[in-house]
Structures are given as structure tokens and as C-alpha cells.
A and B are shown apart, each in its own frame.
Chain A
Amino acid sequence: MEELIRVEHLAKIYDLGEVQVPALKGVNLVIRAGEFVAIMGASGSGKSTFMNILGCLDRPTEGHYYFEGFDVSGLSKDELARIRNKKIGFVFQSFNLLSRTSALENVELPLYYNNTPSRERRRRAMEALINVGLQGREHHFPSQLSGGQQQRVAIARALVNQPLLILADEPTGNLDSRTSLEIMDIFQTLNAQSGITIILVTHEPDIARYAGRHVLFRDGRVIQDLPNQPRRAMEDLRQMPTGTGEGIS
């Protein structure tokens, strides 16, 4: 498999005026296309900073970040915005959907920023919603959807530009265990069927079990990087007693 991400001696120092806080202290990591990686670590371990840099939301103070073989550490804000739009999908713990905006329009949002014609926008957004099992809900507002459904809308939004990479930051943090499994199942299916690289930030070992590789952060460094034989979320769902959580609609 070819490399999607390579970081070399990546460092990030936050300058707070009087003190300088190092968040990352020289991280080296290679992630190949099609991997499903769980990034773990306690809060303050630097995993969020690392995620922000991987997501092109932030730039490293030192070191290099090669995305698809390109060094993106020195790109301008606008160029980074373009990469985020075309190549990366984000899934957040708190869903970050626009309220009073239909599921369909939420999913369409990234397409506005690359001038997709409206008919095409609609078609691709519908497709992405069907992919995450939300057909029939496209005109619902976020407030009319359950947490799991909202997160699925967010996943559809991340998928709509057919990205190479999905960055999921504690995607199950606000969901109950059954719904969490459903979300993990969606990620596993996407990873297996479409070959999308998925990087999952979590502090829950239960959730990390579904990823194929565990990278552990502590004090701004990678202290452990191990392959993992992932559990199948679908099978765990079947064994779960019914009646808890939300069924797949």
C-alpha cells in the first residue's frame, strides 16, 4: 500500500507570550492509504494537536508533513482550505451540524466551497446520505434526528467530496454504546469497501478495538505504535441485547 501520510520530526510549540508550551515534540509516523488507525492518549498528550495538523487546520512549528507525497507544512491558508475541502473529511464529537438546516443541506455544505453545480450537489449529497443509511431523512432538521442519526449526517458530510482521508475526533463521545457500535460499523464498512483511510482519535479502548492499528501518544510523543486485529462492529452489534440504543432505520 502506498503512503498517504508521512510526518517527520513534527513539532508544535504554542507561544503563550510568557511561556512556550510544546504540544508535539518530534513525531515521526507513516500512515498508508486504506489504514484504519486509532490515535489514543490522555488529554494533553498532544493527540488533538497532531490531529489538527493532519487535518490541515494547523501548521507545525517544525518538521514536515507530507500528504500524498506533497509537503504541505508550508502551504498558505487558502491552499490548506483547498486540501481540506477536496481530500479530507471531518467527523467531530459534537457533530457540528448547522441547526435549522436540513440534513441534505448540511451534507451539501462542503460542495459549496468547490463550486459544484446545484443539481450535482443534490445528487451527491443524497448518495452520501443513502451510504450512511439515512434515506428518507434528508429533509429533517438536526433537532428532529437522534444523536446517532446526526453523527451519520456528519459522516455523510465528510464523505460527500469523496475524500482520501477521514479524521474522526472522538466520534462516539456523545453516543451510547449501541449507537457507538453502529457508527464504528459505518467506518469499518467505508474503510473496507471504499478504501478510505480513517484516523480515529479516541480515549476509549472499547472503541479503539475496531481499528487496525493503535498509536499511543504521551507528552507530545508517540510512545507505542502497534498493529491490532480489529473486532467486527457488525458482529458485536448482533450479540448485543436488543432494546438498547437505536436500531438502524
Chain B
Amino acid sequence: MNLSMTLRIALKALSRNKMRSGLTMLGIIIGVGAVIAMIAIGSGAKARIQEQIASMGSNLIIVLSGAATSGGMRWGSGSVPTLTVEDAKEIAELSAVKYSAPVIQGVVQVVYGNQNWSTIAIGSTPEALLIRDWPVVKGRPLNQGDIDGATKTCLLGQTVVENLFGEMDPVGQVVRIKKFPFTVVGVLGPKGQSTWGQDQDDVVYVPLTTAQRLLFGQQFPGMVRAISVQAMGPDTMKEAEEQITQLLRQRHRLRPGQENDFTVRNLTEAFSTAEESARVMSLLLGAIASISLLVGGIGIMNIMLVSVTERTREIGLRMAVGARGRDILYQFLIESLVLSLIGGVIGILVGVIASQLISRFFQWPTLISIQALFLSFSFAGAVGIFFGFYPARKAARLDPIEALRYE
């Protein structure tokens, strides 16, 4: 007996009891749908985190001014600037480091005409934008000339542009920051939210030297709160951290045993932890959903066993008219396989629709991959064969005489 005939017999047998076949399938439908929706949720979260990491800039290390101790009281990182512009220049020379940019920042009020907006001003060197891989979409970036001349020029983030200029082109306009007039030379591209939900576009970049002299420099001249560093590549992150620590200890003349007066933080590492936890979450969700698929499989086995018992006479008859044991085995195996695969296809549809609904109503990003579809479909098939085998073998081993006599 060939496959297409076996398939036809199986379909006929299933269609003879539509209600039951449908309910049995429901177990698989829910299982496959859940697996797909859960994996979609998990990979959606992972994709969002990856996107955020990319928006932060890759291979990023932040060096923060150290925890100051005054009279036994310890202040947080960056509370007292211990890093200097010279430190940043030296760090840039390290072999494992690609770029390094000193950063000072503070909250400022930016005024244009009768509009004003409170935002963060960042004083840095041109490398700061290279590190963050942040393009200027209009006008020009800040250059070394702006740093050297401490020009009153600035770059605006998208949020600032929207709030001060609306639809107008800000390039060439003059805004006032802390009462000083700054010429807008460029507009930064949109970055969106950071991992912790901060609007990265709510920012004004000014030359480091200008920021030191006019905006924040009065308290600690020549000092910076932080240095952004980009390592050469993902493999050299650890090396870069070590080189920076060594260099700064040397430069700050710290004796062995003395605490660092700075903190080196590997941002990418922090994010990969987040990425890892998203991965684990997606795995966990998938595993839980797989259990429901397994339960669906047990439902198939249950129904197939009932079906074998119910159709004992039919099996006897089929054997009497010439069916061999394996013809019966294949017939029942294919029946359960058809059940699980049709359930798998419907389950895929349900899963895809469910993920769309989840992302629409819960604002949760979902990502459906072909692999996930393929995986859960083949998993459903495997479940069908695995749980269909025992009932099918039971049917195939029936004695035709007793089966024919069965009441």
C-alpha cells in the first residue's frame, strides 16, 4: 500500500469524526501557537536590547571620575572630578583603544526666540560622536578647530530641534545657552530611547573647551567627569579596561593597595547581560510552551487509543481483506501525524496572530523567525509520531480473528 492511499484512508477516518479530530488538534494548535508566540516575545525582547546596544555605540567603555572620600563620607562615582583632558588624550594612545573622548555635562536652559527648553549639554571632542556612531544629518559636525578656538557652536539633538524650532531648519540660527549665544552648526540623527528609557535625542553637543570656559568649568578647571572610550573590537574590551586602569593608576600616582580614584565600566558587558537574560527568558517561555505541546501529544495518544479500541472490528476487517500489520501501523501513525501536522499549521497561524496582538495591545516587540516556525512545526510532527506510535503498534498487533469478533 502506498503513501497517498494511506494518507487518503487516514484523512477519511479523521473526517468521519470531525468533532473529535478537531478537539484533539486543539491541543496541538494551542501548543504550537504558544511556542511560536512565546519565542516571538522572547526574540522580540532580545532584538530590542540588541538595537539599544547598537544605538549606544559598540565596544563602549566609560571611565568615571572616582568616588571621593571626604571626612569618612564617601561620595558616588563622578562626584569629584579626578580625570583630566590629558588622561583622555593618553588613553587614546593605548593599543587596545580606538577612540577616547573626555566628557563634561550638565543641565542647561536653551533659548531660541521666545521658545526655551531644558536639556543636557555635553562638552566633548569630535571623537565623542564617532564613539557613539552618531551621524550629523544636517550641517556639519564639530571639528578640531572648534575645540582649539573654543567657538560658541553647538549640535542639537532631534528632541531639542523639535521643541525649539518645530519644522524650521535650525542650522545657522543662534540659540542662547546660559545666556551665551551659540551658533547651531549641525543637527544630530535620531537615536531613540536608551535601555533605561532616557531620551538620547534630548541633548546639545558643544566643544569641550567652550563647555569648560563658559558652561561648567568654574569649579574644577581642566577636570572632566567622564571619559568615553571605544575599544578596538569586542575581543579587546578586557585588554582595553586593563590598559586604562594601569595607565590611570600610574598617571594619578596611586600606590599599590590604594583604591582607584576612578571607575572603568564596560557598558557592552552590562548590555550583554541584559541580552543573555532575554535569551534565557525566551528559552524559558519556549520550554513552558513546549510542555503544552507535549500535553497536546498525550491528547493525541489518548484519542488514538480510543480510536483503536473503537475500530477494532474495522482493523480486523482490514486485516481479513489483506492488510498486513505494517499497513495498519502506517494507517494509524499517519492519522496521528496528520492530526498533529494540521494542528501544527493552524497553530502557526494562531501563534503569528497572537504575537501580532501582543505587540499591538501590550506594546511588546515580537519577532517571528522562520526557524521558530519550522522548529515548532517539526516538533509537532515529532509529537504526532512519538505519541501515535504506541496506539498504532497496538492496532497492528491485533489478532484478526479476535478483532473481527470484538463487540
Contact = CB atoms under 8 A, between A and B. Distances in A.
Range class of the A interface residue count: 20 to 34
A48 B324 CA distance: 22
A123 interface: no
Contacts of B19: none
A96 B320 CA distance: 11
Contact of A113 (B16, B321, B400, B401): B321
B325 A77 contact: yes
Given A77-B325, A78-B325, A100-B16, A109 B318 contact: yes
B393 to A, nearest CB: 14
Given A92-B404, A98-B314, A81 B16 contact: no
B24 to A, nearest CB: 18
B18 to A, nearest CB: 11
B320 A113 contact: no
B323 A113 contact: yes
Contacts of B316: 96
Interface stretch (B1-9, B167-175, B249-257, B376-384): B1-9
A6 interface: no
A96 to B, nearest CB: 5
Interface string B326-361: 010000000000000000000000000000000000
Interface in A92-119: 92, 96, 98-101, 105, 109-110, 112-115
Contacts of A64: none
Given A101-B16, A109-B318, A115-B2, A52 B324 contact: no
A64 B314 CA distance: 30
Contacts, number: 61
A62 B316 CA distance: 25
B319 interface: yes
Contacts of B372: none
B317 interface: yes
B233 to A, nearest CB: 64
Contact of A86 (B313, B322, B400, B401): B322
A182 B406 CA distance: 28
Contact of B322 (A81, A92, A99, A101): A81
A221 interface: no
Of residues B2, B9, B12, B401, which shows the largest number of chain A Cβ atoms within 10 Å of its Cβ? B401
A124 interface: no
Contacts of A92: 404
A96 B1 contact: no
A157 B318 CA distance: 11
A162 to B, nearest CB: 13
Interface string B196-208: 0000000000000
A85 B322 contact: yes
Contact of A157 (B2, B321, B404): B321
A112 B322 CA distance: 9
B321 A110 contact: yes
A90 interface: yes
Interface in A26-58: 52, 55, 57-58
A110 B322 contact: yes
Contacts of A90: 320-321
Nearest to A78: B324
Nearest to B316: A96
A146 B187 CA distance: 89
Given A58-B401, A112-B1, A113-B1, A96 B317 contact: yes
Given A57-B400, A86-B322, 10 more contacts: A77-B325, A81-B323, A84-B321, A84-B322, A85-B322, A90-B321, A101-B16, A109-B317, A110-B321, A113-B324
Interface of B: 1-2, 5, 9, 12, 16, 313-314, 316-325, 327, 400-401, 404
Interface of A: 52, 55, 57-58, 77-78, 81-82, 84-86, 90, 92, 96, 98-101, 105, 109-110, 112-115, 157, 161
18 contacts: A78-B324, A81-B319, A81-B323, A82-B324, A84-B320, A84-B321, A85-B321, A85-B322, A96-B313, A98-B317, A105-B12, A109-B318, A109-B321, A113-B1, A113-B323, A113-B324, A114-B322, A115-B1
